[in-house]
Amino acid sequence: MRSNRRMLTMAALLTVALALTSTTMAQTSPPQGDAAPTADNAVLLTIFFKHDQSRPLSELNAQLDKQGFRKAFPPPGVEVVSWYVMMGIGQVVTLRLPASRLREVNRVVEDTAWGPYRTEFYPTYDYKAVGMAQHDKATSN
């Protein structure tokens, strides 16, 4: 009887310790590295910033300024590949960054863009060289 109680107590303590560890790890701030994107670690991230069309643009811009969006986005060291206005939708931004900084970019968007924008994220990778090589090979036959 004592042995069973001891086993249950140990299992409960282990479960609590694991839960606290994973919760603590999930709440830590993202690494703020200055790693540069390279061929083996870079991802492209396309972000759709969809305007809240129920509010006037001046109000949206004021909220973006208040939340510090223009100061924080994009984070230093993250390359902007393209930044377009998509009329009737909002803005579409494609970034190139090391995969290790993905969480950092997400947090900047969550902290500074939500409200004026609804966001959608599309992480991708650069396939141009492979696709063009396949095309060239296919057309040379």
- Say whether pLDDT at 20 is over 60: no
* pLDDT over 70 percentage in the chain: 72
The DSSP secondary-structure symbol of 101 reads G
Q: Regarding predicted confidence, which is higher, 25 or 5?
A: 5
> Per-residue pLDDT tens for 78-119?
999 999 999 989 999 999 999 999 999 999 999 999 999 999
Cα separation of 62 and 84, whole Å? Answer: 20
How many CB atoms neighbour CB 78 within 10 A?
17
For residue 103, which amino acid is it? R
For residue 34, which amino acid is it? D
Cα separation of 85 and 44, whole Å? Answer: 18
Q: Regarding predicted confidence, which is higher, 97 or 30?
A: 97
Separate counts of helices (H) and strands (E) for the chain: 5, 4
> Per-residue pLDDT tens for 64-82?
999 999 999 999 999 999 9
